[in-house]
Amino acid sequence: MVTTSALKTREPLPLTSASPSETKVSPPGTVLARLGAHAATVRVRRGQSVALSFEGSEAAFVVRSGALMLHVTLPGGFRQVVALFYPGDVFRAAFAPPAAGAHLSAVSPGDVLRFRWSGLSQLVASDPEIAGFVENAVARQTSRQAIHMAAVGRFDCQQRVATYLMELAMRTGVRAPCGGLAFEMPLNRTDMADYLGLNADTLSRTMSRLRASGLLSHPERHRALIRDLDALAALTPAAQSIRALYGKMPADARHECLMTD
Amino acid sequence: MVTTSALKTREPLPLTSASPSETKVSPPGTVLARLGAHAATVRVRRGQSVALSFEGSEAAFVVRSGALMLHVTLPGGFRQVVALFYPGDVFRAAFAPPAAGAHLSAVSPGDVLRFRWSGLSQLVASDPEIAGFVENAVARQTSRQAIHMAAVGRFDCQQRVATYLMELAMRTGVRAPCGGLAFEMPLNRTDMADYLGLNADTLSRTMSRLRASGLLSHPERHRALIRDLDALAALTPAAQSIRALYGKMPADARHECLMTD
DNA sequence: CGCTGTCTTGAAACTGCTCAACGCGTGTGG
DNA sequence: CCACACGCGTTGAGCAGTTTCAAGACAGCG
């Protein structure tokens, strides 16, 4: 059950909580609206590539809906999906490393606000609320990356997969009529493997094992259902952190909160 | 100026490389000086732990000299050094993931500016140059992390070690009288292994192999000498990116610029 | 209908991990 | 001064998990 799982989350240290203590005056959505007034809204399709420069200058993006992926390809064919960006996330081209074949693309259809970085930077300077929004987005993304780093660096195959599935389930899962959490799996096997630092074959095997164990089911491609989130959480050492990151709020509420514009 | 350190703080040093082109009129060093005026300067020793909260509120740091390490420890004893912070880098406690046993500590002696995050945030809001400094620092750190992510996710043991050594050599190496680049290795074997997502034994073996091949020598603990940087670069697919990140300038110049104390 | 791209699965090869032992420098107490 | 313990790095042997390579299943699409 989603709702009960949140109860088990222990209160993290106050300082490590990414959410700001300052209370905003404006209703939610206003910041995004104000940002949108100064940006081009780009509608992206799955797989669509997003240019990192914009009319010769550095581009920046705020994800409004959908998800993006940043990957690098190093000489020798080493490919790594470095980060995933979700609604509310902020990305500027300078986040991508130089000389690394960096590439930003959509993994699911959605809307992205596109800026010149200089423009977004000015907005940040002129509007404290926008500044807070961006600062918090960056902090949230960074702490997510830290967990992911630990997963890729230290977990075995099954733990990595469980970590990723749990993130997905908590972020975008909705309660299925038959019980459990249903969610989209925007990445294909190769991208998912490259995100988790695994071989695609190994990943496939691991998913099969999870399916065989009854934890996971796969009604169709790009879609999954988790029967028992707690059982999944038991498979990853990062469960606590993921719960803390993806919040106390039930997955459905989160979904609405983040996906509305 | 708030100074908790017993030592009288000296005029902050120019960190020119931290803020590339965007800075406008002020001479280099001014930004750090202005930051220093609103922060406590903390002198850290090797191994010293740095608290993530400051009088109950979120702390933030700007590294002036030395290096820090952020590591997490997940249930089950999974330990990962998530990031290293060098002079000019900016860190706020919210960068550390919640419920992950996050821990910030010094890996070499140095000076750190400590803020309340709310205070630094205000500085950023009030001073466009400080804003640019912080934005660039974050971007630089993020792109470094991306390369590191690719290394941990995709490289084999030797490639990871070569990548790390090359980073160190380019960042802090100085031309040795006997030819080659000499530099400090601030991390001990365990930390280095946890940074690279390797087993300490395996890491030791790999270093031994490099030593045997004549590429690397180890005059004393915490110190190394690279005979031929190009040969080392040939071992890592990330060589190009590292060169781009750590710049064209000769290692000695960089050293003076970054490490002066 | 056959093509193509994606996913799955098997068996063999290999890399890196585990565990245990050893060397070495340092600090400490008899 | 020596004995000893301790932290840290090194090394070896065996093992486990992942990757590799190759083949087959499946769905989407011309």
Decide if B97 and A70 are in contact by the 8 Å CB cutoff: no
B37 touching chain A per CB within 8 A: no
The pLDDT score that the predictor gives to residue B10 is 37
The pLDDT score that the predictor gives to residue B92 is 98
The pLDDT score that the predictor gives to residue A27 is 63
Per-residue pLDDT of chain A (261 residues; tens, 9 = 90+): 333 333 333 333 344 344 444 444 556 668 999 999 999 999 999 999 999 999 999 999 999 999 999 999 999 999 999 999 999 999 999 999 999 999 999 999 999 999 999 999 999 999 999 999 999 999 999 999 999 999 999 999 999 999 999 999 999 999 988 888 999 999 999 999 999 999 999 999 999 999 999 999 988 889 999 999 999 999 999 999 999 998 754 444 444 444 433
A101 touching chain B per CB within 8 A: no
Query: How many angstroms separate the CA of A206 from the C1' of C12?
Result: 19
CA dist., res. B178 & res. B70, Å (int): 35
**Chain A residue with minimal CA distance to B139?**
A95
- Cβ contacts (< 8 Å) between B116 and chain A: which residues? none
Decide if B59 and A238 are in contact by the 8 Å CB cutoff: no
- Nucleotide in closest CA–C1' contact with A156: D17
Task: Count chain A–chain B contacts defined by CB atoms under 8 A.
Answer: 194
Give me the residue from B100, B128, B143 closest to A97, CB to CB: B143
Element of type H or E holding A141: helix A128-154
A57 touching chain B per CB within 8 A: no
The pLDDT score that the predictor gives to residue A199 is 97
The pLDDT score that the predictor gives to residue A252 is 47
The string of pLDDT tens digits covering residues A38-60 is 999 999 999 999 999 999 999 99
CA dist., res. A150 & res. B242, Å (int): 22
Three-class SS state of A32: helix
The pLDDT score that the predictor gives to residue A10 is 37
Say if CB A46 and CB A187 are below 8 A apart: no
Decide if B143 and A70 are in contact by the 8 Å CB cutoff: no
Q: Read off the pTM.
A: 0.87
Strands (E), chain A: 40-44, 49-50, 53-54, 57-63, 67-74, 78-85, 90-92, 103-108, 110-116, 174-175, 181-184, 216-217, 223-226
Give me the residue from B75, B143, B152 closest to A149, CB to CB: B152
CA dist., res. A104 & res. B88, Å (int): 27
End-to-end CA distance of chain A: 28
The pLDDT score that the predictor gives to residue A28 is 61
Query: How many angstroms separate the CA of A239 from the C1' of C16?
Result: 26
The segments of chain B whose pLDDT lies below 50 read 1-24, 249-261
CA dist., res. A236 & res. A251, Å (int): 19
CA dist., res. B113 & res. B15, Å (int): 14
CA dist., res. B43 & res. A228, Å (int): 49
B174 touching chain A per CB within 8 A: no
At position A174, the amino acid (one-letter code) is V
- Sign of the Cα torsion A53, A56, A57, A61 reads negative
The string of pLDDT tens digits covering residues B190-232 is 999 999 999 999 999 999 999 999 999 988 889 999 999 999 9
The pLDDT score that the predictor gives to residue B219 is 83
